[in-house]
Amino acid sequence: MRSHKLLLHRFLREVCPACVDGFAALTPEIVIGYVERHALDGSADSGKAMCVVRAFLRYLHLKGFVSTALADCVPSIRRWRLASLPTFLPPAKVQKVLDACDRPTAMGYPPGVRR
């Protein structure tokens, strides 16, 4: 929760430093500009920050602090479960996998061994 507060503080400090008009001064252009400046650095923190900002903007709209659904200006970050798996293996690793298999058998391991 503390990290969310820090992320939102950074967002608000940048998009409305004077906060003269409060949240009503937030526009889609301001939010999109923030996203464009910070989402492209590719760090895990930027992805988390965008999720926190989107939730905060959704809350502001729900409570009537802003009339526009600004959360729609923040794209969702896709997190696939197996995204960290390599897309290929170097030849030495492929050979190691092949050497671990008993290739003459259909299942890849010696008869009598159950897995």
Instruction: Please check whether residue 18 lies inside any domain of the structure.
Output: yes
**Cβ-based burial of 47 (10 A; exposed 0-12, middle 13-18, buried ≥19):** middle
Summarised one tens digit per residue, pLDDT across range 50-78 is 888 899 999 999 998 888 899 888 887 66
Range of the domain at 67: 2-73
Instruction: Please check whether residue 40 lies inside any domain of the structure.
Output: yes
The residues near 20 (Cβ < 8 Å, ≥ 6 apart) are none
Instruction: Please check whether residue 9 lies inside any domain of the structure.
Output: yes
Instruction: Please check whether residue 62 lies inside any domain of the structure.
Output: yes
Domain count for the chain: 1
Instruction: Please check whether residue 11 lies inside any domain of the structure.
Output: yes
Summarised one tens digit per residue, pLDDT across range 99-108 is 887 777 776 6
